[in-house]
Every structure is written in C-alpha cells, then in structure tokens.
Amino acid sequence: MKVVILAGGRGSRLAELTEVVPKPMVRIGERPMLWHIMKHFARYGHREFVVALGYKGYVIKEFFLNYRLLSASLTVNLADGSSSVLDGGDAADDWKVHLVETGLETGTGGRLHRLSRWLRDEPFFLTYGDGVANVNLDGLLAAHRNDGRLATITAVRPPSRFGGLAFEGAVRRVARSQQLGIPAGERLPMPLDHGDDVRPRHGLTSLYRQLALNFR
C-alpha cells in the first residue's frame, strides 16, 4: 500500500531549525524525521512513498538522490567525474519514493488533491512529515477494513505540560499524579475546582505540608 507523507509545510514552530532545512529533515539522532517515518512503514511491508514537497523541497530531493552514496564506500574517477559504489550503503532499503512538488503555500487538502494522479482510487496511508510514531500498522489497517469506513484516523492525547491528576471512584481519590507527587489512593485534604483554584485556605496549608513544599 502506498504511503503519502505531507512534507511541504514551513514548520514555523521549529523556526530555529527550519530556516536551514524543512521540518521533516530535522534530525533525530543521525537521521532525519522523514527517514524514521519511512523506516517504520517499511517494517510493515509498505515501501512505496509519495512525498508532497513544498518549502525547501530541494533538500529532500538531494537527500534521496544521494541516499546510498552518502552511506557507502565509493570509488570516484576525477578524470571523468564517474563514481561507483564498492560496498555498504542502504541498499537494503528497497523503497520507491515519488517526490512531488505541491506548491509552497498549498494547504493540506490541496496537497493531497495534487497527489491524486499517484493515488487514484486505491487505499493509502497518510501522515505528516513529523509524524514519528510506533503505531501497529497491521492492526490499524485491519481495524479500518473491518469497520468499512471511508477513513480511519490515529490520534494521541498529549500529556499536560504542567502535570495533572487522574481520579477513580470518589472524586477526590487519586489514581495517578504527575509532578504533584501524591501517592496513588491518597485522599486530597480539600476539593479541587477546575485545576487552578484551591480552597479553603486551611486546605491549601495542609496540602503544602503533605507535599513537603516550602513557603517563602
């Protein structure tokens, strides 16, 4: 099954890095995010990719044009400019990669529309160029086919930046906490309202004592 990867956005949230390369080419370890995504799909047998290019698309083209040469041993003939691969490289990655220009300012739907000639009416996977994940693709595909839906979306619930509580049973019994350090099963000394307003005042003092925090 073909895999569509949207890799044409500007990646403004990583501006300090994407001034030089498009976001899918930002490295995780020694390889760009795009490579990690494709490697995951290839492990499940999906080795044909349609990559929607836009912002700094030439960087992605250069990466794949030199994909094997940059990781292999070479012989270079300076007299005529020819080169040959001696051994090594990523020859095991038997992928077919279509690099399609879809415009600099094109939105998500527009990019997908411009890829229609490569997709026709066949089913395909679709992900973003920073969509690094460990999704069970066999399970996802089976669920999609069993449900008979037009599309199936995989999503995650991001963790809170500032910690949080998960409750079970009575409203004030803690099942799990982040950052606050409250043991599982512990009862809070007072009610919590909307996560940002603690009352009454004596309850706040009690909570601070339990968490061994210092007043200043």
Task: Report the distance separating Cα 204 and Cα 29, nearest Å.
Answer: 44
Show Cβ contacts of residue 204 under 8 Å, excluding neighbours closer than 6 positions: 190, 198
Report whether 36 contacts 132 (CB < 8 A): yes
Q: Are 59 and 119 in contact (CB under 8 A)?
A: no
Using the structure block, give the residue that is written with the tokens 């690099």: 99
Whole-number pLDDT of residue 81: 83
pLDDT at 190: 41
Per-residue pLDDT at 49: 97
Q: If 0-12 CB within 10 Å is exposed, 13-18 middle and 19+ buried, where does residue 156 land?
A: exposed
The predicted pLDDT at position 55 comes to: 95
Sort strands 48-53 and 96-101 into parallel, antiparallel or unpaired: parallel
- Give me the residues of the chain with pLDDT under 50, please: 170-171, 173-177, 180-182, 184-204, 207-208, 212-216
Task: Name the amino acid, one letter, at 127.
Answer: T
Query: Which domains are assigned to the chain?
Result: 2-147 (3.90.550.10), 165-210 (no CATH)
CA distance 194 to 52: 42
The 8-class DSSP code of residue 159 comes to: P
The whole-number pLDDT of residue 90 equals 66
Tokens of 159: 């963790």
**pLDDT recorded at residue 212:** 46
- Within 10 angstroms of residue 48's Cβ, the number of other Cβ atoms is 15
* Per-residue pLDDT at 215: 40
Sign of CA pseudo-dihedral 79, 85, 87, 90: positive
Specify whether the CB–CB gap between 128 and 135 falls below 8 A.
Answer: no
* Residue 116, phi-psi category: left (phi > 0), alpha (psi -120 to 50), beta (remainder): alpha
